[in-house]
Amino acid sequence: MPDFDVVPAPPVSPPTVALPPGACDAHSHVFGPFDRFPPLQSSVYALPDASPSVHAAAREKLGVRYGVLTQPAPYGNDPAAMLDAVRGSAGALKAVAATHSAIDDATLAAWRAGCICGLRFVEMRAPGGGRYPGSVGVEHLTALAPRMRALGLHAQLWAKAEDHAVLLPDLLKLGVPLVLDHMGCPDPARGADDPSFRAILAAMKSGQVWVKLSVCRVSRSGPDYPDVRPLHDALVVAAPDRLVWGSDWPYVRLDPAPDAGRLLDLFTTWLGDDDLRRRILADNPATLYGFGAAAD
C-alpha cells in the first residue's frame, strides 16, 4: 500500500435558495474509509477525508437528493470504495467507474448490477504531459462500446474542447451516450465562439451528448468565475435538456477549494429561471442516470 496523506474534506454551506425535489449532484467523489479502502496507487495530492458518511452529510447540507460518484485516480480501476458508498446510500447514489477493455463480461455485468451507470475515459493530460495515473484512454471506449450498449452504460469523457472536436465525430457513431466532464473543458480565453466549443454545442443539439455544468476546473477566477459565464450561458441556450450540474466536491488539486453551496447559488443567479433550474438539477439527471422522478 502506498504512503498517503489525509486532509479534511472541504466544508459546504447550504445554498441560499432551496433546491428542487430530486436534485442531483452529478459529479463528486468518495475517498475511504481508509482503514477499509486505502489508495491502490500513489497520489499526487493529499487524499480528502470524504468517506460515505462525510459525503452524505455534505449532500444533506446542500439539499441534494441524488448523487453520481466518479472514480478518483488513487483507486485505479477498482471501484470497491464507490460500490460500498452506493450500497449504503439507500438508492441515493450511482457511480461511474474506470476500466480497460480487457475487463471480463461477468465483472462488467456485476458492476452494472451494483449501480455503476457509466465508464470514464480520459484524454486530459497531467501538467507534465503524461497521462494521469489510473486514467483510461478513449481508445478503450471504442473496444468497450458494444458491451456498454448492451448493458446501458454511458461514456463519461474528460478532455479539452479541442480534443472533443476531433473525437466526437467518430465517438458519436458508437451508439453510446456521451457525457462531457467540466463543461467540455473549453478555454475561457477563446470565448463561446471558439470552433471547438461550437462543435460541442452542435453535438449537444444532436441529442447524443450531455454536458456537466461544473465550472471550477474551467476557470480559476473564483469565487464568481466571470470568464466562464459566457460559456455557461451558451450551453444553456444551446441545449438545456442535455445539461446536468456537478459540484466536483471534494475538490482535489484546487486550493483554495470552492464552496459547493456557493457554486449552487452562482448557478441559480446565472440561470435566473426556476424552470430551467429544476430541469438541470432534477429532471435531466433523472433521465440520464435513471434516478426517481423529480417529485421523488
Residue 225 Rama label (left phi>0; alpha psi -120 to 50; beta): left
- 194: nearest Cα among 233, 157, 231: 231
Mean pLDDT of the chain: 95
Q: If you search the block for the grid coordinates 447514489, which residue do you land on?
A: 93
Looking at residue 294, what is its pLDDT? 38
Looking at residue 295, what is its pLDDT? 36
Q: What is each CA distance from 214 to 1, 196, 218, 238, in whole angstroms?
A: 32, 18, 8, 17
Q: Of residues 84, 163, 181, 248, which has the active-site annotation?
A: 248
Report all structural domains of the chain as residue ranges with CATH numbers, in order of start.
Answer: 6-289 (3.20.20.140)
Percent pLDDT > 90 in the chain is: 88
Q: pLDDT, tens digit, for every residue of 107-125? A: 999 999 999 999 999 998 7
- 283 part of the active site: no
Q: What are phi and psi of 219, to 5 degrees?
A: -140, 150
Q: What are phi and psi of 261, to 5 degrees?
A: -65, -40
Q: Please determine, for residue 106, whether its predicted confidence score (pLDDT) is greater than 90.
A: yes
Looking at residue 42, what is its pLDDT? 83
State whether the Cα torsion 235-237-240-245 is positive or negative.
positive
Looking at residue 43, what is its pLDDT? 84
Give the pLDDT band of residue 262 (cuts 50, 70, 90).
very high
Q: Please determine, for residue 7, whether its predicted confidence score (pLDDT) is greater than 50.
A: yes
What pTM does this model have? 0.96
Strand partners, 70: 96
Q: Is 71 strand, coil or helix?
A: coil
